[in-house]
Amino acid sequence: MTFASFLLQLGNGLSSASALFLVAAGLTLIFGVTRIVNFAHGSLYMLGAYLAYAAGAWLASAGLGGISFWLGVLAAALAVGVIGALIEVLLLKRLYAAPELLQLTATFAVVLIVRDATLAAFGAEDLLGPRAPGLAGTVTIAGHAIPEYDLFLIVVGPVVLVALTFLVTRTRFGVLIRAASENRALTAALGIDEAKLFTAVFALGAFLAGLAGALQLPREPANLGMDLATVADAFVVTVVGGLGSIPGAFLAAVIIGMTKAMCIALGSQEILGISIAFPKITLVAEFAVMAIVLAVRPHGLLGTPPGAPVTTPLPEQRELVPAPGRREALVAGLVLAALLALPAVGAEYTAVLVTDILVAALFAASLQFLLGSGGMTSFGHAAYFGVGAYAAALAFKAGAPMAVAFALAPVGAFVAALLFGWFCVRLAGVYLAMLTLAFAQIVWSIVFQWDAVTGGSNGLVGIWPPEILAERKHFYLFTLAVVTLGLALLARIARSPFGFALRGVRDSPLRAGALGIDVRATQWRGFVIAGTFAGLAGGVYAFSKGSLSPEVLAIPRSVDALVMVLLGGLNALFGPLVGAAAFTWLADVLPRLTEYWRALLGALIVALVLVFPGGIGGLVARLTRRAA
Amino acid sequence: MSVLRFAALAFALAVLPAGAQTIKLGELNSYKVFPSFLEPYKNGMTLALDEINAAGGVLGRKLEIVIRDDNGTPGDAVRVAEELLSREKVTMLMGTFASNVGLAVADLARQRKVPFLASEPLTDKIVWDNGNKYTYRLRASTFMQTAMLVPEAAKLGKKRWVIIYPNYEYGQSATAAFKKQLNAMQSGGLEFIEIAVPLGKIDPGPVVQAALDAKPDAIFSSLFGPDLARFVREGQLRGLFKDRVVFNLLGGEPEYLDPLKDEAPVGWYVTGYPWDSIATPEHKKFKDAYMARFNDYPRLGSVVGYSAVVAAAAAIRKAGSTDPEKIVAALSGLSFTSPFGPVTFRPIDHQSTMGAYVGRTAVKDGKGTMVDWKYADGKDYQPEDSVVRSMRPPER
């Protein structure tokens, strides 16, 4: 690599950084003010690209020539801004009083709906837009051709940064944004119409996402994978920069863009006799950067430690998983009896489906313990599920009998949670959640790349239980036994002295510390317990499917578990079971009803979230309490 | 007739509807994850199904396809496969797209002892390292398609290659196979510089720059989909492809070539499907029927979906029964006619001999297409039998 090409790679890194910054800026703005973890940000970005394609093509056919592309970009960004406002007004506005993670569930539903709507409207084929008129060529620098559009993007990033900084620091709107970011309640008390402010901010964030997607069109065809490919990156940039900090997002985007460009530029290098293929690191570069940054700066590069706790616990969150009274014991007994009777009366497939539900329930319950009792949000809980599953599978493939292999599942997850938990409990709120995500992605990329041991992206096959459990209904009974035991243990721990200490730490770390509770150690222990039970669920999963691939520890599984917990109710005793049953059953039934089952699932989740903000399980609990 | 008997008969009539007469194929695929390939695939299946049923079905019974979405994950795939088997009582399983899903379902087929026709997954492992008695694979594998390109590459005698590939099993296998086979055919002095990119997330600027800095004589890529489009556009802008030979596995498949429109690369060596210029009677019949039915031209997915159903029907016909063991036995050595011509399932490794078209890309009437192509029959691009035997585990 010559010095000239090194400089060129820096330029490439900068233009990628600009693109990253544009999409992250909107996200950080939205989070800073509304505290909404907007999973649908990638979907808004994707819509921007599709709408810019359609608008540009339509305007071009109307004979507008070169300007049609640029008008199309603007129109698309504005349209996405309007869509964002609609999402906020129709959906999110109704959820500000609910536990804040419920908004995450709602935006997850939006992802599902937007994806199907885009497929229905634009078809399945990738849509390659035109090159940007006026910037379609290249400039030659030092004998290298540089696309004009890359240079344009390098400029756009800082321009948007300056414009947003001006907006936030120099205008009345900006003052209001900052005020609401710092103290929502006080801002409202001063007579500021919070509702309008939130809508405006969400629309502005959506506009930026739409703009980012539209500006990507000359570099990438509009395609249905853009949403998920983008949203994780946008979150990483936001968090590395410091939540709510726009200059921080820019800095983070530059660091990540540069890191990736340099990894590719370096190629394969011999270092101390070991050959390292740097381009392969791009698979996980942004998450590695995030893990390092958060380990050193718990609030991101330019983030400030929040004065008040990031979360304002609501009554639902402050609750403890209720003590099982006579009524609950009766319900549990009836459910268990029904589940025990199932193999005798149910069809074979019902046993398969309920096995999946039970595994999901145990996994969700372990997350509920972390989230509900521990007050720690995890976006990467699948890591422990997956490590457990892989530990069992690898031992089994190495010749261990199933009993031994299975026992290794919680052990493997325990070790992973012990290691990662030590780092994670040093953080709080969304930063903690994102660090769990970073670790999960790092584990995922190791499993994904380590062909010789984990089977790489293909995974492992042939993990079938021995003869006696091979029969579907027999395996179901085995699962039922393990999951019942697991759920009972988790509920027991939640109400043990340790559970109370954990809850104390969650609600008031200061007071708990003053009482002599070691705050971090308690949280760490809580984290490890949650991870271990997730691993147990993973062990059952491995033997129920007969095969494993890195997908078991990927982001969607973590998100699914979050959705199950929130659907079921954050602190409802039967919440995980109800949430897992509802989610898994719907995902099984809906695809048989309609081609657009994702949209339907999304719509149902929206309905559930709006009707039962405390989760389905929470509603059941309320009803039974009222009856009692 | 006694009341009891009458009741029994009525019960039998009610419980066994006319549907019990159909033979069911259980098809599972990632329809929502890879729609650009799988929507044409579904059309292809529909066409084959209608043709078969119009001609009287199979074994005197109508054929039915029960379709399920596997959500692109092995876990869900295993669940829906179990549902197809235990609730729908399908005669055999077919489908799957991604390699990890294909392998998971193949292993389930072995466990449950039912035939599985893996229509699309390209991984070599499904017939070799992880091959099993119950699994057959239709499409030309990563190894085969790479082998179809290597002779062309070897002829050119280029020494310094940049290899760009999506960083997962398909890209890794293609890269390994290419290096190994080219080394075997071209003597000495070969250099390979590899650039692995995350699937679906290529950063084209740095990748193209790094490729330029390597000053290669030639490029071998296994990119596809949005990654390929971004690579092509960036590479053309920065002059990466000027005076350089480029090979791109799968690059001639309409699914990946057509979105590029008039920017499709010119002169690249690719494997693919030149639907507009194949003139064999088998293909003409297929294409005409397809276009009449769907008012759209066939993609490669259409051919794969169509051929998979034809193959499944042929297997059941040959078995003369819906017994799983008999169908598995019938699949071994089974011959049928696909739109690409005659195809046989190799008894040695259960791989079909369905080939692919090898040619060069061109732009015609503002659209990407393939020229100077020839059909590479899959039977000619296989490793030695002894090598295959050494890779495949003992029959189980």
8 Å CB contact between A542 and A400: no
pLDDT number for residue A270: 78
pLDDT number for residue A323: 66
The Cα–Cα gap between A131 and B84 comes to 47
Same domain, residue pair A77 and A132 = yes
* In a domain? residue A114: yes
| Interface contact flag, A282 B125, Cβ < 8 Å | no
pLDDT number for residue B3: 52
Residues of B in contact with A283 (CB under 8 A): 167, 196, 198
pLDDT in tens, B107-132: 999 999 999 999 999 999 999 999 99
8 Å CB contact between B59 and B23: yes
Which residue in chain B has the smallest CA separation from A266?
B210
Same domain, residue pair A183 and A162 = yes
Domain edge (last residue) among A200, A224, A248:
A224
* In a domain? residue A25: no
Asked if pLDDT for residue A562 goes beyond 70, the answer is: yes
Asked if pLDDT for residue A565 goes beyond 80, the answer is: yes
pLDDT number for residue B314: 96
Same domain, residue pair A503 and A397 = yes
ipTM of the complex: 0.87
* In a domain? residue A319: no
- Reported for A52-61, long-range contacts at CB under 8 A and 24+ positions apart, including other chains, are A52/A76, A52/A77, A52/A129, A52/A213, A52/A214, A52/A217, A52/A222, A53/A122, A53/A127, A53/A129, A53/A217, A53/A222, A54/A122, A55/A79, A56/A129, A56/A130, A56/A217, A60/A130
Asked if pLDDT for residue A372 goes beyond 60, the answer is: yes
* In a domain? residue A320: no
**Closest CB from B35, B106, B111 relative to A124:** B35
* In a domain? residue A71: yes
* In a domain? residue A422: yes
Q: Which residues 35-54 in chain A show a CB within 8 A of chain B?
A: none
Confidence of residue A309 (pLDDT cuts 50, 70, 90): very low
| Interface contact flag, B78 A265, Cβ < 8 Å | no
Same domain, residue pair A416 and A287 = no
| Interface contact flag, A549 B205, Cβ < 8 Å | no
Asked if pLDDT for residue A383 goes beyond 80, the answer is: yes
Residues of B in contact with A1 (CB under 8 A): 213
Same domain, residue pair A413 and A562 = yes
The Cα–Cα gap between A289 and A470 comes to 44
pLDDT in tens, A572-583: 778 889 999 999
Same domain, residue pair A132 and A160 = yes
pLDDT in tens, B251-280: 999 999 999 989 999 999 999 999 999 999
Distance to chain B for A344, nearest Cα, Å: 15
**Closest CB from A2, A541, A546 relative to B108:** A546
Range of the domain at A288: 230-304
Confidence of residue A322 (pLDDT cuts 50, 70, 90): low
Same domain, residue pair A495 and A398 = yes
Number of domain units in chain A: 3
Domain edge (last residue) among A224, A245, A278:
A224
Same domain, residue pair A274 and A374 = no
Same domain, residue pair A217 and A299 = no
Q: Which residues 36-65 in chain B show a CB within 8 A of chain A?
A: 36, 38-39
Asked if pLDDT for residue A1 goes beyond 90, the answer is: no
**Closest CB from A16, A280, A546 relative to B78:** A546
**Closest CB from B203, B209, B259 relative to A126:** B259
| Interface contact flag, A283 B167, Cβ < 8 Å | yes
Collapsed DSSP state (helix, strand, coil) of residue B46: helix
Same domain, residue pair A274 and A330 = no
Confidence of residue A311 (pLDDT cuts 50, 70, 90): very low
Length of chain B equals 396
Same domain, residue pair A297 and A397 = no
pLDDT number for residue B18: 45
pLDDT in tens, A384-441: 999 999 999 999 999 999 999 999 999 999 999 999 999 999 888 888 988 999 999 9
Q: How many CA atoms lie within 13 A of A77 on its CB side?
A: 20
pLDDT number for residue A308: 47
Q: CATH number for the domain including A405?
A: 1.10.3470
Low-confidence ranges of chain B (pLDDT < 50): 1, 12-19
B172–A contact, CB cutoff 8 A? yes
- Mean pLDDT in residue range A284-300: 89
A128–B contact, CB cutoff 8 A? yes
Chains A & B: contacts with CB separation below 8 Å: 207
pTM of the model: 0.89
pLDDT number for residue B277: 93
B209–A contact, CB cutoff 8 A? yes
* In a domain? residue A154: yes
Specify which of A147-151, A440-444, A554-558, B45-49 reaches the highest per-range mean pLDDT. Answer: B45-49
Domain edge (last residue) among A269, A304, A339:
A304
Same domain, residue pair A461 and A571 = yes
pLDDT number for residue B80: 94
pLDDT in tens, A81-133: 999 999 999 998 888 777 777 888 899 899 999 999 999 999 888 899 888 98
pLDDT in tens, A576-627: 899 999 999 998 899 888 888 889 999 998 988 888 877 776 666 666 655 5
Asked if pLDDT for residue A193 goes beyond 90, the answer is: no
* In a domain? residue A435: yes
